Structure 1
Amino acid sequence: MLISDQIALVSGGASGLGAATARHFAEAGARVAVLDYNREAAEAVAAEIGGFAVQADVSDEAAVDAAIGAATAHFGAAPRIAVNCAGVGHAARIVGREGKTSADVFERTLRVNLFGTYYVMSHAAKRMMELDPLDTGERGVVVNTASVAWQDGQLGQAAYAASKGAIAAMCLPAAREFARAGIRVMAIAPGLFHTPMMEGLPEETTAQITANIPFPARLGAPREYALMAEHIVTNPYLNGTTIRLDGAVRLPPR
Structure 2
Amino acid sequence: MSSTRVNLHEKAKRALELMDLTSLNEHDTNESIIAMLDEIDAEAGLPAAICVYPQFVALCKAQLQQRGFDSVKVATVTNFPSGKEPLEAVLEQTRQAITDGADEIDLVMPYSQVMMGDPDTPWQYVRSSKDVCGDKVHLKVIIESGVLSEPDVIAQASDIAILAGADFIKTSTGKVPVNATLQAAEIMLSRIKANNKPVGFKAAGGVKTVAETLPYINAAESIMGASWVNAGHFRFGASSLLADIKAILAEAS
- Provide the TM-score with structure 1 as the length reference: 0.37
Normalized per residue, the structure richer in helix is 2
Give the TM-score of the pair, scaled to structure 2.
0.37
